[in-house]
Amino acid sequence: MADRWRGVAVDIAMTRTVPWRVFTLNDPARVILDFSELDWAGLDADAVLAGSDKFTDIRAGLYRPGWTRLVLSLASPMVIDRAAMRGPVQAGDPTAMRLELAHASAEEFAATTGAPNSAVFATPAPRPMPSPKTRQTGFGDLVVVLDPGHGGIDPGAERGGVVEADLMLAFARELKEILLRAGGFKVVLTRDRDVFVPLEERVTIARRAGADVFLSLHADALAQGRATGATVYTLSDAASDAASQTLAERHDREDILAGVDLTRQSDEVALVLMDLARTETTPRSEALADTLVEGIFSATGSTYKTPRMKAGFSVLKAPDIPSVLIELGFLSSPRDRKLLQDEDWRRRAAEGIRDALQYWSIQDAANAERLRQ
């Protein structure tokens, strides 16, 4: 990597040529490089950042099966001036990808952003959605979809050697086992390995599973201020406070519209249908969140000073599934970080969530019966 007066040049050495693509995205400004079958295990992001002031962050990892992604967060707007992969001319010649970026205005940058059209990356034709799920009645298994936050190219928060994506995947697996041992639950994970799953796909997985409940699991970190203990979020257009807004912006990379088939409807009809669905779902989500707070506190004694919060997290936007986001703790807190790494504490937290789901299922079914009468 070499800074230049008009931009920066990035050279990526590799053992052989591979299919690739490069493009930029805005909010925040970043350069995306996708490669087929390229291993980033040896990447030293700190060393790369130390050699240039053009980038604020570098992340690499699995993007989708067979493809990895390199994300270069830009310190200021730059456009792609040149990008090419150079293969060996004769035996022993190096193989490398060269990317040259040039400084640009915000307007020039915005005009060039967006992923290029590609048959390789085209969204597959949607599979038929299952029939609409009726409200759970307290009989039969409660279908719980657990969503371990982040993963793959998006590790989430990192503090003291602890990575949010890895920690939440471990907790989701532990929680799944506790729910299955209890009986009366069917559990689906949105990811069961360290892989990137787009936000909209997480909600789609829940709908295809016929979810009765969607729990998104996180353990974030705050750059400023002190916060400890678990927090349970429900959806709101307005965040409860500045910290909630910050976390929502960090979790969400793009907006989604999910939960009902609206492809043949106008925007006005879609909004009306979603509002109608949320009329029933919102109070159920609120009751679920309240019960989860009680369950986690009873089991661990560790909740945030205001454990019930609201924010516009995209993964909570399915209008037909009671959905909550659980911040199990804050990696920015040494106390929480220690607890989150303690298997016994995580077991107790999972048991508290189990008890809360059992109680909520009974109360929710009773409320449905009263409404029918």
**pLDDT per position as a tens digit, 61-115:** 888 777 889 999 999 999 999 999 887 766 677 888 999 999 999 999 999 998 8
Q: Mean pLDDT over all residues of the chain? A: 83
CATH match for 2-112 among 3.40.50.1100, 3.40.50.620, 2.60.40.3500, 3.90.79.10 = 2.60.40.3500
Specify the 3-state DSSP secondary structure of 150: coil
Q: Is the pLDDT of residue 243 over 60?
A: no
Distance CA 273, CA 256 (A): 15
Distance CA 290, CA 243 (A): 20
Q: Look up residue 327 and give its DSSP letter.
A: E
What are the extents of the domains in the chain?
2-112, 142-372
pLDDT number for residue 42: 75
Tokens of 271: 């909004």
183 conformational bin, left if phi > 0, alpha if psi -120 to 50, beta if neither: left
CATH topology of domain 142-372: Aminopeptidase (3.40.630)
Distance CA 73, CA 24 (A): 10
Residues 18/35, Cβ–Cβ less than 8 Å? yes
Sheet arrangement for strand 7-14: 2-4, 7-14, 95-103, 78-86
Tell me how crowded residue 107 is: count the other CB atoms within 10 A of its CB: 8
